Amino acid sequence: MFPIAWAVVKVESKGTWSWFLKNLMADLEITNGGGWAFMSDQQKGLLPALAELMPFAEHRMCARHIYANWAKIYKGEKLQKQFWMIAKSTNMADFRIHKQQLLDLTKDGYEALFQTEPRHWCKAFFSEEFKSDIIDNNLSEAFNGRILEARCKPIISMLEDIRVIVMTRLQKQRDEAAKWTGQCGPRIAKRLDDNLASSRFCHPIWNGDDGYEVMEKTDKYVVQLDKLKCSCRA
């Protein structure tokens, strides 16, 4: 993952976000936003700027920020667990089940949470076009944490420090990637291994040349091998 652009502006607004996005679109040759997904937390002016300049882009909102605001009133381990079960639901059936369970726990909390449309923060609504299922912007927060000291400096010194930080990071990450023994990174390899271990509880049933039905406990999914799709959407 690579930081590719950052800017300093006087205030967050639709105007400054439009300026930034226009420059980004020019550099990356983006037209109407089709094929791109953006994630934000609560930046002022970004939503209308994205809607105007890239109407076909998918817009995700950081689930961690949504939870943090919601949890100021609706606290407790049960509610926390239920929120993340909703956010990480990968298909509509699971989403509806977990949504109902939250309603059973708290009607007020349910209504407060869904004031923010779930299409922005729940995996069940994300397009299958994108192979990233990230629902938080921890990467950006880590970057912000790394440049905290630089941000306290005068503007030129700050920008120079950020440039050196990013340049050093790219070199360090490239050296780490060169040590990989497989075709993907160790975290992804572990995730694949975990999925492989979980598949011991899945029972495939052949349903024709197109693929299989897969039973996992009481759930049933359809796998289409020719399209590389599964109705679980995970």
Please report the sign of the dihedral spanned by the C-alpha atoms of residue 158, residue 159, residue 164, residue 167: positive
Residues 138-159, mean pLDDT to the nearest whole number:
91
Instruction: Indicate whether 75 and 44 sit together in one domain.
Output: no
> Has residue 30 got a pLDDT over 90?
yes
Helices (H) and strands (E) in the chain, counts: 9, 6
> Has residue 112 got a pLDDT over 90?
yes
The answer as to whether 217 is a domain residue is yes
How confident is the model at residue 227, as a pLDDT? 87
How confident is the model at residue 113, as a pLDDT? 96
Residues 55-78, mean pLDDT to the nearest whole number:
93
Instruction: Indicate whether 52 and 16 sit together in one domain.
Output: yes
Instruction: Indicate whether 113 and 150 sit together in one domain.
Output: no
> Has residue 1 got a pLDDT over 80?
no
The answer as to whether 193 is a domain residue is no
Instruction: Indicate whether 89 and 119 sit together in one domain.
Output: yes
Instruction: Indicate whether 209 and 229 sit together in one domain.
Output: yes
CA-to-CA distance for 163 and 121, rounded, in angstroms? 31
* Number of compact structural domains in the chain: 4
Determine what percent of the chain is predicted with pLDDT higher than 70: 100
- The residue with greater pLDDT, 217 or 1, is 217
Is residue 223 within 8 Å of residue 215, measured between CB atoms? no
Is residue 125 within 8 Å of residue 119, measured between CB atoms? yes
**pLDDT digit string (tens) for 188-204?**
899 999 999 989 999 99
Domain that holds residue 233: 201-234
> Has residue 210 got a pLDDT over 80?
no
Instruction: Indicate whether 52 and 69 sit together in one domain.
Output: no
Confidence of residue 45 (pLDDT cuts 50, 70, 90): confident
CA-to-CA distance for 83 and 75, rounded, in angstroms? 11
> Of 51, 2, 62, 54, which is closest to residue 26 (Cα–Cα)?
54
> Has residue 43 got a pLDDT over 90?
no
* Residue in the block written with tokens 């961690």: 64
Instruction: Indicate whether 68 and 121 sit together in one domain.
Output: yes
How confident is the model at residue 32, as a pLDDT? 93
Residues 6+ apart with CB under 8 A from 126: 37, 58, 60, 133
Helices (H), the chain: 14-28, 46-53, 63-70, 77-87, 92-105, 107-113, 138-146, 155-177, 186-198
> Has residue 144 got a pLDDT over 90?
no
The answer as to whether 131 is a domain residue is no
**pLDDT digit string (tens) for 171-189?**
999 999 999 988 888 888 9
Instruction: Indicate whether 21 and 67 sit together in one domain.
Output: no
Residues 6+ apart with CB under 8 A from 54: 21, 25, 30, 32, 33, 36, 38
How confident is the model at residue 77, as a pLDDT? 94
Instruction: Indicate whether 88 and 100 sit together in one domain.
Output: yes
Instruction: Indicate whether 50 and 22 sit together in one domain.
Output: yes
The answer as to whether 189 is a domain residue is no
How confident is the model at residue 70, as a pLDDT? 96
Determine what percent of the chain is predicted with pLDDT higher than 90: 70
CA-to-CA distance for 25 and 38, rounded, in angstroms? 12
- The residue with greater pLDDT, 139 or 104, is 104
Is pTM beyond 0.75? Reply is yes
